[in-house]
Amino acid sequence: MDGDEALREEARFLHWFGQETIAFNRGYVEITGNVVSALWLSYVLERMSVELSAERAHLQDEGYRFHMTGADCEAATGITRAQQAGCRRQLEDLGLLQVDGVRGKTGSYTVNLSRLREIMTDQSKPLLAALQQARACQGSPGASAEGGTRDA
């Protein structure tokens, strides 16, 4: 491998593996209805602990209030500014996001954590019912560990 090829390989490696990793929560797709809005929400909530620790964001009244520029979001996620606007509208319509204002190029937002918990609770009801049924079967006389009945 000549010197230029080695530099190309190093540049390729640094470009791909030097990118910020974003934890994507697949469950947010069910909540938001699309992957892009789910990615936006995943990114915002993933940053929450760091932003709170650095006192660049605040928790108040079941809301996570933070600031973010469109350019910063696009650089980190690849979501264009037009797509971000669509994400914010969709999340506002779901009651999950409030746009508090824009100062220059920086937006102020509040994620409604109680609404997020409410939606997650509603979506988990079928699983809760199944778990309750499984527990009831395990505790009933004549039930086996597999949930069926034992032969007498």
For the stretch 113-146, pLDDT in tens is 999 999 999 999 999 999 999 999 987 665 555 5
Average pLDDT over the chain, rounded to whole? 88
117 contact partners, CB below 8 Å, separation of at least 6: none
Phi, psi of 145, deg, nearest 5: -65, -25
Query: Pairing relation of β-strands 106-112 and 63-69?
Result: antiparallel
Q: How far apart are CA 54 and CA 44, in angstroms?
A: 15
CATH 1.10.10.410 is right for the domain spanning 3-113: no
For the stretch 36-76, pLDDT in tens is 999 999 999 999 999 999 999 999 999 999 999 999 999 99
pLDDT above 90: percentage of residues in the chain: 70
Q: How far apart are CA 37 and CA 27, in angstroms?
A: 12
Query: pTM of the prediction?
Result: 0.76
